[in-house]
A and B are shown apart, each in its own frame.
Chain A
Amino acid sequence: MDISLRLQGQVRQAIDKRQTFRIEGNNSKAFLGRPVTGEVLSLREHHGIVSYEPTELVITCHAGTTLKELEQTLAEKRQMLPFEPPHFGEQATLGGTIACGLAGPRRPFSGAARDFVLGCRVLTGKGDIIHFGGEVIKNVAGYDVSRLMTGAFGTLGVLLDVSLKVLPLPEHEATLQKACSAEQALDIMTRLAGQPTPLSGACHDAENLYLRFSGSRQSVEAACKRFEGDEMEHGQRLWQQIREHQHAFFRQQKPLWRLSLAASSAPLTLAGETFLDWGGAQRWLYSDEPASRIRDAVSALGGHATLFRNPGEQSEIFHPLGSLEKQLHLNLKQVFDPFGLLNYGRMYEGL
């Protein structure tokens, strides 16, 4: 059902009153980001697949479509969302997924959410419905607003419809497990990523290295033979647990940090427990270290840190921006949401 005109009416009415909104799909990622006040602008009813052309590798959905429905539809044609998005809830929607810009274990080997966004229809904070990008894979007409919207946490506009590039499901997958230290794991993962292997997942949970291979059956079997390690019986379940933070590692009651940095960086000397994913480029850290110490350590390596889940008191979530970059963020907020109605402050103060 397309309720975009109703949503547009809500935003237009709110402009005079300066009524702010908290954009919501099914609330599965409410934990992520700074707190937002305001009336709920619900996309729940704005759901459904608008078009799907398997041979064009393109699907367009209303933002309230659940990932579950979307992925089922793709799976029927043996296709998938290549960025393997985490759901973080049974009813997670596509809109929330794209707004948060999250990606799962396949990310370093296939691409991020923004890499597969081809176009979107957006309701801005001025009450305008505008359309950028399209339903074709190659498109450089005008600025790439669709990718700008990806990972913007709804601060620049309400995602109404999203067009995505999809890819065929791999014919076969297998996962190897090998006991080793974090240092050894980083070494192996970095080396493997530089070789032409069908690698599609590489992580380390403090005790074991896990490698996933995807491709034709023979090619995956050959890769498994080439590398040390034991083939796991339920490999796919492991990757799903990692993606969804249901793996045993993710059960601690401390602040959970997401560190994004060069995959080959040596293990950090921060107190706490670390889970290496994305071949080392995404590291999950449970730590009570002060935020500034964690951020400084990652900044020094050209990376950034996000306070992903925080059971404690309120604090900044995303890595601070440089002053020029922050100004450009605020300028863009002025372009798309000059009255500060949409998810105001979700990413940074004023954004």
Chain B
Amino acid sequence: MKQHRSIRKHNTQALADLFRKFMPASAVLTEKEDLRPFECDGLSAYHSLPLLAVLPETVEQIQQVLAICHENDVPVVARGAGTGLSGGALPNSQGVLLSLAKLNRILELDPVQRIARVEPGVRNLAISEAAAPFKLFYAPDPSSQIACSIGGNVAENSGGVHCLKYGLTVHNVQQIKVLTGKGDMLTLGGSGLDSPGLDLLALMTGSEGMLGIIVEITVRLLPLPEKTEVILAAFEDIAKAGEAVGNIIAAGIIPAGLEMMDNPAIRAAEAFAHAGYPQEAAAILLCELDGDEIDVQQQRQRVEAVLSQSGAGEIRVARDSEEKQLFWKGRKAAFPAVGRLSPDYYCMDGTIPRKRLAEVLTRIGELSDEFGLAVANVFHAGDGNLHPLILYDANIEGELARAEAFGGKVLELCVEAGGTITGEHGVGMEKLDQMCVQFTPLELEYFHAIKHAFDAKELLNPGKVIPTLHRCAEFGAMHVHHGQLPHPELERF
């Protein structure tokens, strides 16, 4: 062990010296206390120190870092603002942590072409703020938008509350510049609406830092809508709230946002944000409509009618922009609000077909009893993306493990219901086991081969996103996939 440590130390210094040839000493961190801030992302249950961290300021520096790492077989983990919730930016203990935070300039904002060309460290909200004087905005708005960076958004294919109408990151990116593991530059996309050949832009979006390092992003901007309305509806029965969502869509209306909260989430949010939510309701729906004045007014009337026909007890339309913000404040503060109820919470991210909502929530309630951990549910109802927040206390021995086991069950439940293990947070380090439930060993082999096609040495964010078949075999010893045991060819233990 001692010997191992000294080799590591030696390599670290040698590597740091190579990097310091083209970067200032302050941009190459090797001391434990300097590395500590990078030990985890938004999923703090997983942490690890990298060999060293680099904070380059230019694309050329990143290229040199990558070339050196490639030459020396050193893993590289890219990191933006570190707000990810699946451990995607968890450092590799034998690798370099590549922080892109210093590349934070908006390079170009063209209101005629309606694009913004930005560096990866630019914050999501900063793009919309820069576009606002031109009455434009960047649509994907993850709840971390104040802090999260656009490079991470592309790597994770981030969503937000407006996905149903405006799409995910993949629908709003026009061009990216990507570095391969060797440091070679690739431009994907173009000035138009498509590009020749295979859609590598779509493949790269959401690839979680496994296929390349994104160093420049051109996003599309949309005209700010003329008018928005926010409607709050309370239900005594959560199943009815779910049906109401289907009924709104059946009426031919695509709201800009359609969010649901269950009673524990309502209570937590109300206590925190004082948004005026009806605390006795089993569920509330928040429905945002946007568009031109006339359209929104008409849609509002129809949504109100649909909601009341669907059994909503109370329906409130926000009177002014202050009340609109107040309605949203409760929803947007749901995570920290739940955080006040409990020392720790674990945020899950499954997607289900909406029609299965009532049964999935019932089952989550049963699991909550089984595991002895409370849960609050926040739901992007329009697109079926469920965020159960599992409450636990990391200081009580065994609770974190129980929360993780509970979370794993919830994701498997989503797959059983015809959904998926992650709607917008990514697989990262967190959901490797559940990938074995979502995909067959054969499909995972194709994923591994795609990784290999881009990164033959497998140095970019290694060990994330795609589980090894061995791992699945171990996990599969306890699980059955589509009625069949995975890897029938492998010996069972």
From A138, A139, A145, A197, give the contact of B446 (CB < 8 A).
A145
State whether A324 touches B167 (Cβ < 8 A).
no
State whether A169 touches B442 (Cβ < 8 A).
no
Interface readout for B134-145 with A: 1 if CB under 8 Å, 0 if not? 111000000000
State whether A115 touches B167 (Cβ < 8 A).
yes
Q: Give B30-65 interface residues, CB cut-off 8 Å to A.
A: none
State whether B295 touches A318 (Cβ < 8 A).
no
State whether B114 touches A194 (Cβ < 8 A).
yes
CA–CA, A246 and B482, complex, Å: 48
Interface readout for A126-167 with B: 1 if CB under 8 Å, 0 if not? 001011101111111111110110111000100000000001
CA–CA, A45 and B211, complex, Å: 37
Given A140-B422, A190-B112, A263-B113, is A130 in contact with B443 using a C-beta cutoff of 8 Å?
yes
CA–CA, A101 and B202, complex, Å: 13
Residue A339 lies at the interface, judged by CB distance under 8 Å to chain B: no
Residue B22 lies at the interface, judged by CB distance under 8 Å to chain A: no
**A196 CB to closest chain B CB, in angstroms?**
4
Interface readout for A83-96 with B: 1 if CB under 8 Å, 0 if not? 00000000000000
State whether B249 touches A55 (Cβ < 8 A).
yes
State whether A321 touches B197 (Cβ < 8 A).
yes
CA–CA, A112 and B195, complex, Å: 12
Given A55-B247, A303-B190, A335-B453, is A148 in contact with B198 using a C-beta cutoff of 8 Å?
yes
Given A144-B205, A171-B252, A328-B454, is A318 in contact with B196 using a C-beta cutoff of 8 Å?
yes
CA–CA, A151 and B201, complex, Å: 12
Residue B450 lies at the interface, judged by CB distance under 8 Å to chain A: yes
State whether B190 touches A260 (Cβ < 8 A).
yes
Residue A40 lies at the interface, judged by CB distance under 8 Å to chain B: no
Residue A264 lies at the interface, judged by CB distance under 8 Å to chain B: yes
Given A140-B157, A143-B206, A151-B199, is A132 in contact with B443 using a C-beta cutoff of 8 Å?
yes
Residue B25 lies at the interface, judged by CB distance under 8 Å to chain A: no
CA–CA, A334 and B136, complex, Å: 42
State whether A142 touches B447 (Cβ < 8 A).
yes
Given A215-B291, A218-B298, A303-B190, is A141 in contact with B171 using a C-beta cutoff of 8 Å?
no
- Please give the number of chain A residues whose Cβ is less than 8 angstroms from any Cβ of chain B in the complex: 84
Q: Give B192-212 interface residues, CB cut-off 8 Å to A.
A: 192-200, 202-203, 205-207, 210-211
CA–CA, A128 and B440, complex, Å: 12
From A53, A143, A151, A335, give the contact of B353 (CB < 8 A).
A53
Q: Give B405-464 interface residues, CB cut-off 8 Å to A.
A: 418-427, 431, 435, 438-440, 442-443, 446-447, 449-450, 452-454
Given A138-B351, A148-B198, is A107 in contact with B449 using a C-beta cutoff of 8 Å?
no
State whether B453 touches A282 (Cβ < 8 A).
no
Q: Give B90-134 interface residues, CB cut-off 8 Å to A.
A: 111-114, 134
State whether B198 touches A332 (Cβ < 8 A).
yes
CA–CA, A141 and B425, complex, Å: 9
Complex contacts, A152 vs chain B, CB 8 Å: 198-199
From A167, A169, A219, A321, give the contact of B295 (CB < 8 A).
A219
CA–CA, A322 and B197, complex, Å: 11
CA–CA, A169 and B442, complex, Å: 39
Given A136-B420, A336-B446, is A260 in contact with B193 using a C-beta cutoff of 8 Å?
yes
CA–CA, A347 and B292, complex, Å: 42
CA–CA, A264 and B111, complex, Å: 11
Q: Give A196-225 interface residues, CB cut-off 8 Å to B.
A: 196-198, 215-216, 218-219, 222-223
Residue B246 lies at the interface, judged by CB distance under 8 Å to chain A: yes
Residue B465 lies at the interface, judged by CB distance under 8 Å to chain A: yes
Point out which of A139, A141, A261 has the most chain B C-beta atoms below 10 A from its C-beta: A141
Q: Give B300-358 interface residues, CB cut-off 8 Å to A.
A: 351-355
Complex contacts, B211 vs chain A, CB 8 Å: 143
Residue B226 lies at the interface, judged by CB distance under 8 Å to chain A: yes
Complex contacts, A135 vs chain B, CB 8 Å: 353, 418
Residue A29 lies at the interface, judged by CB distance under 8 Å to chain B: no
State whether B295 touches A142 (Cβ < 8 A).
no
CA–CA, A260 and B190, complex, Å: 9
Q: Give A290-345 interface residues, CB cut-off 8 Å to B.
A: 301-304, 306, 318-322, 324-325, 328-329, 331-332, 334-336
Given A55-B355, A215-B291, A260-B193, is A151 in contact with B447 using a C-beta cutoff of 8 Å?
no
Complex contacts, A335 vs chain B, CB 8 Å: 446, 449-450, 452-453
State whether B450 touches A55 (Cβ < 8 A).
no
CA–CA, A347 and B211, complex, Å: 23
Given A278-B193, A303-B190, A304-B195, is A141 in contact with B420 using a C-beta cutoff of 8 Å?
yes
From B197, B210, B380, give the contact of A348 (CB < 8 A).
B197
State whether B427 touches A141 (Cβ < 8 A).
yes
**A35 CB to closest chain B CB, in angstroms?**
18
CA–CA, A319 and B191, complex, Å: 14
**A201 CB to closest chain B CB, in angstroms?**
14
Complex contacts, A334 vs chain B, CB 8 Å: 453
Complex contacts, B247 vs chain A, CB 8 Å: 55
Residue B278 lies at the interface, judged by CB distance under 8 Å to chain A: no
State whether B438 touches A128 (Cβ < 8 A).
no
Complex contacts, B466 vs chain A, CB 8 Å: 142
Complex contacts, A56 vs chain B, CB 8 Å: 246, 353-355, 384
State whether A138 touches B424 (Cβ < 8 A).
yes
CA–CA, A319 and B196, complex, Å: 6
Residue A108 lies at the interface, judged by CB distance under 8 Å to chain B: yes
Residue B253 lies at the interface, judged by CB distance under 8 Å to chain A: yes
Given A137-B383, A216-B295, A336-B446, is A168 in contact with B253 using a C-beta cutoff of 8 Å?
yes
Which 9 A-B pairs have CB atoms at the shortest separation, nearest pair first?
A302-B191, A147-B202, A331-B453, A55-B246, A138-B423, A168-B252, A260-B192, A319-B196, A262-B191
Residues of A that sit less than 8 Å from B by CB: 53-58, 78, 101, 107-108, 111-112, 114-115, 124, 128, 130-132, 134-145, 147-148, 150-152, 156, 167-169, 171, 190, 193-198, 215-216, 218-219, 222-223, 260-265, 278, 281-282, 301-304, 306, 318-322, 324-325, 328-329, 331-332, 334-336, 347-348
In the complex, 21 of the A-B residue pairs with CB atoms within 8 angstroms, ordered by the A residue number, are A53-B353, A54-B249, A57-B249, A108-B193, A115-B170, A137-B384, A140-B156, A140-B422, A141-B438, A142-B438, A143-B203, A143-B450, A144-B157, A190-B112, A223-B292, A262-B113, A262-B192, A324-B184, A324-B186, A331-B453, A335-B452
Residues of B that sit less than 8 Å from A by CB: 111-114, 134-136, 156-157, 159, 163-164, 167-168, 170-171, 175, 180, 184, 186-188, 190-200, 202-203, 205-207, 210-211, 223-226, 246-247, 249-250, 252-254, 291-292, 294-295, 298-299, 351-355, 380, 383-385, 418-427, 431, 435, 438-440, 442-443, 446-447, 449-450, 452-454, 465-466
Given contacts A197-B223, A218-B294, A264-B113, 13 further A-B contacts (CB under 8 A): A124-B446, A136-B352, A138-B163, A138-B423, A142-B435, A143-B210, A145-B203, A216-B299, A301-B191, A303-B190, A322-B186, A325-B188, A335-B452
